[in-house]
Amino acid sequence: MALPGSGVLLLEDGVYAAVADSAAAALLSALPERVRVYALAADLMARGIDAATVLDDVRVVDYEGFVDLACQYDKVQAWL
């Protein structure tokens, strides 16, 4: 569903997809190049995931970065 120019923020259990060699990592790699993927640092930490194990193309953001993303993109859609 993500189009080029979109941003996808992984949060809660979604951050598991950001881990290199995870089952979902291949899905993230299949996204168009212009789709930026982010992971919430607090959710990585809460799940014991070291940021060093996150895919290179995934940018780790804190809560302030989360707010910046909500302001940067003109549409925000949360899927649970």
Report DSSP letters for 44-70, one per residue.
Answer: HHHTT--GGGB-TTEEEE-HHHHHHHH
* Assigned domain for 45 exists: yes
pLDDT tens per residue across all 80 residues of the chain: 788 888 999 999 999 999 998 888 888 888 888 899 999 999 999 999 999 999 999 999 999 999 999 999 887 777 64
Does the pTM exceed 0.85?
Answer: yes
Which domain does 48 fall in, by range? 7-72
- The CATH number of whichever domain residue 52 belongs to comes to 3.40.1260.10
37 inside domain: yes
